[in-house]
Structure 1
Amino acid sequence: MIGQMMNSPLTITSLMSFGEKVHGDTEIVSVTMDNPLFRYTFADAFKRTRQLANVLARLGAKPGDCIGTLAWNDHRHLELYYAISCSGMICHTMNPRLFPEQIDYIINHAEDQFVFTDIFFLPLLENLKDRLSSVKGIIVLTDEAHMPDTSMENVYCYETLLAAETDVFNWPEINELDASGLCYTSGTTGNPKGVLYNHRSTVLHAFAGNLGDVMGLGTDDAVMPIVPMFHVNAWGVPYGAIMSGTKIVFPGPKMIDGEALTTLINEEHVTISAGVPTIWLALINYLKESGKTVEPLKRIIVGGAACPVSIMEDFDSYGVYTHVAWGMTEMSPLGTYNPFLDREALGEEEFARLRVKAGRCIYGVEMKITDEQNQDLPWDGVAFGSLKVRGPWICDSYFKMPDSDAHDADGWFDTGDVATIDPSGMMQITDRSKDVIKSGGEWISSIDLENTAVDHPAVVEAAVIGMYHEKWTERPLLLVIKQADAELSKEEMLAWFKGKVATWWIPDDCLFVEELAHTATGKLSKKDLREQYKDYRFPA
């Protein structure tokens, strides 16, 4: 027997309509390249979104077309999110930190018909102009007064195009399974791969992200997404905030400026923010140097890389609670979330042990770990193996790769991470499968060693890679960037690990370096580091 309930499609259009009607007076504050502080409401935003939909139609864009964006976190990018997807097109957000060759590849692979770009990224496109065969026009996200000179043809001004259009637009009927967004992996091995989201997956992901034990956005919050909108939809915040009527504060190009972020937090009463550890380190350093505080801020979400305990403890001193989350491009991206933990009830030792974990899987995501024979491993907090997931917002296959099933025969997607899961369901990433160090047949977690190293007050950043060893096959090599003017010897650094990790885990050597290789999304690039130090040999 089939239930007798209405079958209303889960579309981004319905999300937009709800946000405008129910939360139309909610504020959006935005820093842009041409305006230090732009302010309007949800209703204003979706009025302009209808104008933008008319612009797309006038330019000749059609349902099913990919429309590229190279943009910061600001109000114009939000308008693009909704106008493109709700017009039946695909919003292809691009990471400008990728190598030019990779951007060239993904624009052509996606067959982007138009690209919307911030002024800052226009030179990048100019250098690629002769290779972008599908692109019919470039729209610069600014007003006429700030339009730059360019050698490219078919370049338009965003605000000029909008001003010429009416705010009346009849949104098309959309199937909830229609594609809505496209995001490419960072491509650490081979070409980047496209992950094609649909309306249903995006709306379900927004529901899950707004659960009480996840981001839990509400009308009394103000959220500042520092994680880029070009990287996995800013972890779903542009959708979740509209759904919940949460004030949005966009930092634009100021996303790594500690002073600017502090000002926005205090003046706009930001209560929650999300970003990668390097962002939070910049903010903490500014707060320490300036003596300022961030009293409105109550909680931050850290993802993209393991969060050092030192960052969490620094935020504790400012009255800010740190949540750890984990996910990936193929997961839209949310997979797990570490909720609020009662420090007093748990006790300091147990609280410190649990808070650094990636958290429990959120509703909609199933999770398990398997051994090398693909046998399920117990959730005992001891066994660790390949982390696998499945669910309604997890990649089924890659864009334009019909034979590229992203899952096994049972529907499980192998994340490439190695993890443990404890009896309460708390997951902890111990390494990437390709980065784990196998010494004498036993695994060593490079992430645990890196987290321990950066807890040293003289360490800015650290990386651990496995290098060939005659006796043990592999042993860990520690690479460290020291604080400016810090006095720290190799012996002192290695002694720091004693009592904090197993003795046999302690790196065999430490090299002090000026910089460490990173991927386009800001993560340590172990592949590049292994190549850079391929000729290294441990001391006899």
Structure 2
Amino acid sequence: MAVKLIDKTPSAYDYPLLIKQLLHRPIRYAPEQEIVYRDLCRYTYRDLYKRIGQAANALKALGVEPGSTVGVMDWDSHRYLELFYAVPMMGAILHTVNIRLSPEQILYTVNHAEDDVLLVHEDFLPIVEAIKDQFQTVKKIVLLKDSETAPQTAVPLDGEYEELLAGADADYDFPDFDENTKATTFYTTGTTGLPKGVFFSHRQLVMHTITVMAAAGSLHTTATFRSNDVYMPLTPMFHVHAWGLPYVATQLGVKQIYPGRYEPAMIMKLLVTEKVTFSHCVPTILHMILTSPAAKEVDLSNWKVIIGGSALTKGLCKAAMDRGIDLITGYGMSETCPVLTLSQLQPHMLDWSKEDQIPVRCRTGQPIPLVNLQIMSPDGTFLPHDGKSTGEVVVRSPWLTQGYFKDPERAEELWQGGWLHTGDVGYIDETGYLQITDRIKDVIKTGGEWISTLELEDILMQHEAVSEAAAIAVPDEKWGERPMVLVVLKDDYKGKVSEEDIKAHFMGFVEEGAITKWAVPDRVAFLDALPKTSVGKLDKKVMRQQFS
């Protein structure tokens, strides 16, 4: 028997899920709420709505139309927030350019995305100046600046953002169109090959916004995000829309603080003066803040943080909780828009001791609503949620990228069998908590066994002398691969901790039965800093190249 579709009245409005629909509530609910950019700019949601219209009219005057692509090279700012709305609401595509890529990679992404207009912060003009003659589609370049003086540059500019907005009308009739229209694109770097372009539709971004808002704010749990919070992202806005949280923050009508370039002193100043209560970042940013001299005297007890991008170690979690920070883990990837899980505590866990809560807060988390997440064996069968059966994490959700831009072969690999393959290895326990144990490409395959690099790093971070740590596989003639760990010591311990001390620390966990003796690293290297990717994750590709 066939399903029965609803009968639609000819005059009924279909209400497509477009990004413009997200602005109806906040402009009415919180018109006088503030949006702050560093110590340079402060305005209201009413002003935001006006400036979105001005930005759209200014871009239209530059030739932007439905289907055009607008690239943005900026720090985290109020301007970026405006463009998160204005560009896709016009029916154009927002390309959030990864400013931390090499100039050659930036050139590739601008050309591959077919950017028509490029908005560039003055700090990145030297990069654009070096590659501008190789642009293939860029027709106009607009300056974004914080300084009062005009920069000296050979880049041909077609206007300055604030001047263009000042000369533009605030009224713009944002049209209706298909909710599956492409809204945003950006590029994710892999272990091999050129950056891959992922993209998201209006429908996907609206669904992600509403679901994350419900997941983060509706439960009686830890690290909630609600309308009385003060929000400051510490995840770059070029990277998966800063995890989509600026859309959530605007929908909630919260006060928003944008820090620009990540500088510990400025971040601390904004945390204190603007009374920030909610942020999200990768572990390296949290580590930078906790070890910054500027943070030593700052009260962090009202700060809630979601950690993602890399595993949250128990050592870093304890250090943060010792400062009063309420933190949990979030999980996702560039291809997933990105949020899939949150490690929120269940109500009965809220009265647990800090020591008992830490392992839960460090888990990868439970799937948020509308996420179907499974563990798959190499032969394609689903594994039980028993806390032991380990395989690849695969997922279905309304907001997963439907492919890679102009790369159908890798897109089919991503979506093999109708499930998005994350490339992560993990298990799900009886209560639904996911635990990632490694990336498929990072796991150490030695003598027929798999050793988790994340588990080794977690153990290392519990050593009192260790500031940062990474575990990698290095080639071994007899066993194929063996574990090696890279260690950055705290300043007070440099020159005082040996390779034997680190191995002895691991042996303590062997004696407790936490790991086998086979997992104890063969080699230990002490470094001043660990290589990191453009978004602050540990760059194990570089580490393996360096030590193999």
> Counterpart in 1 of 2:359?
353
Distance 2:81 2:216 in 1: 26
Contact residue 338 and residue 357 of structure 1 kept, 8 A? yes
Contact residue 265 and residue 294 of structure 2 kept, 8 A? no
2:371 to 356, 365, 371: 365
Q: Look up the equivalent residue of 2:31 and give its one-letter code.
A: G
- Normalising by structure 2, report the TM-score: 0.92
Distance 2:160 2:396 in 1: 42
2:33 to 6, 26, 32: 26
What SS is found at the alignment partner of 2:214? coil
What SS is found at the alignment partner of 1:187? coil
Q: Look up the equivalent residue of 1:218 and give its one-letter code.
A: R
1:388 to 394, 417, 425: 394
Which range moved further: 510-519 or 185-194?
A: 510-519
**Aligned residues between the structures:** 527
Which range moved further: 11-20 or 234-243?
A: 11-20
Name the CA shift for 1:144/1:229 in 2 (closer, same or farther; >3 Å). Answer: closer
Distance 2:258 2:322 in 1: 25
Which range moved further: 409-418 or 104-113?
A: 409-418
Distance 1:91 1:129 in 2: 20
Which range moved further: 323-332 or 379-388?
A: 379-388
Contact residue 70 and residue 96 of structure 1 kept, 8 A? yes
Distance 1:497 1:459 in 2: 13
Q: What are the residue-to-residue correspondences of 1:316-331 with 2, within 5 Å? A: 316-331=321-336
Q: CA shift at 1:401, angstroms?
A: 2.7
Q: What are the residue-to-residue correspondences of 1:365-514 with 2, within 5 Å? A: 365-403=371-409, 404-405=411-412, 407-408=414-415, 410-486=417-493, 487-500=496-509, 501-502=514-515, 503-514=517-528
> Counterpart in 2 of 1:537?
none
Q: Look up the equivalent residue of 1:461 and give its one-letter code.
A: E
Unaligned residue ranges in structure 2 (runs of 5+): 218-222
Name the CA shift for 1:310/1:144 in 2 (closer, same or farther; >3 Å). Answer: closer
> Counterpart in 1 of 2:342?
337
> Counterpart in 1 of 2:319?
314
Which range moved further: 313-322 or 99-108?
A: 313-322
Q: What per-residue deviation string (whole Å, max 9, x for no partner) do you get for residues 320-340 of structure 1? A: 211100101100010111113
Contact residue 66 and residue 112 of structure 1 kept, 8 A? yes
Distance 1:251 1:289 in 2: 16
Name the CA shift for 1:136/1:301 in 2 (closer, same or farther; >3 Å). Answer: same
What SS is found at the alignment partner of 2:276? coil
Q: What per-residue deviation string (whole Å, max 9, x for no partner) do you get for residues 269-291 of structure 1? A: 21111111111112212368632
Contact residue 280 and residue 307 of structure 2 kept, 8 A? yes
1:147 to 142, 147, 150: 150
Q: What per-residue deviation string (whole Å, max 9, x for no partner) do you get for residues 24-77 of structure 1? A: 22211112xxxx331111110110111111111110111111100111111011
- Normalising by structure 1, report the TM-score: 0.93
Which range moved further: 272-281 or 19-28?
A: 19-28
Q: CA shift at 1:375, angstroms?
A: 1.8
> Counterpart in 2 of 1:519?
533
> Counterpart in 2 of 1:300?
305
1:62 to 62, 65, 71: 65
Q: CA shift at 1:319, angstroms?
A: 2.3
Which range moved further: 398-407 or 181-190?
A: 398-407
Q: What are the residue-to-residue correspondences of 1:97-176 with 2, within 5 Å? A: 97-142=100-145, 145-176=148-179
1:262 to 261, 264, 268: 268
Distance 2:407 2:481 in 1: 36
2:200 to 192, 197, 200: 197
Q: What per-residue deviation string (whole Å, max 9, x for no partner) do you get for residues 119-141 of structure 1? A: 11111111111111211121111
For the aligned residues, what is the CA RMSD? 2.0
Distance 1:317 1:517 in 2: 27
What SS is found at the alignment partner of 2:159? strand
Q: Look up the equivalent residue of 2:531 and give its one-letter code.
A: A
Q: Does 2:190 correspond to 1:184?
A: no
What SS is found at the alignment partner of 1:150? coil
> Counterpart in 2 of 1:76?
79
Q: Does 2:237 correspond to 1:225?
A: no
Name the CA shift for 1:144/1:461 in 2 (closer, same or farther; >3 Å). Answer: closer
Distance 1:449 1:292 in 2: 32
Q: Look up the equivalent residue of 1:186 and give its one-letter code.
A: T
Contact residue 481 and residue 512 of structure 1 kept, 8 A? yes
Contact residue 268 and residue 295 of structure 2 kept, 8 A? no
Contact residue 226 and residue 275 of structure 1 kept, 8 A? yes
Q: Look up the equivalent residue of 1:2 and give its one-letter code.
A: L
Contact residue 136 and residue 154 of structure 1 kept, 8 A? no
Q: Look up the equivalent residue of 1:226 and give its one-letter code.
A: L
Q: CA shift at 1:107, angstroms?
A: 0.3
What SS is found at the alignment partner of 1:498? helix
Q: What per-residue deviation string (whole Å, max 9, x for no partner) do you get for residues 215-245 of structure 1? A: 7532211111111101110111111111111
> Counterpart in 1 of 2:220?
none
What SS is found at the alignment partner of 1:494? helix
Q: What are the residue-to-residue correspondences of 1:284-299 with 2, within 5 Å? A: 284-286=290-292, 290-297=296-303, 299=304
Q: Look up the equivalent residue of 2:296 and give its one-letter code.
A: S
What SS is found at the alignment partner of 1:145? coil
Q: CA shift at 1:295, angstroms?
A: 4.2
Name the CA shift for 1:518/1:282 in 2 (closer, same or farther; >3 Å). Answer: closer
Which range moved further: 466-475 or 156-165?
A: 466-475
Q: CA shift at 1:143, angstroms?
A: 6.5
Distance 1:325 1:212 in 2: 11
Q: Look up the equivalent residue of 2:140 and give its one-letter code.
A: G
Q: Look up the equivalent residue of 1:77 and give its one-letter code.
A: Y
Distance 1:23 1:213 in 2: 20
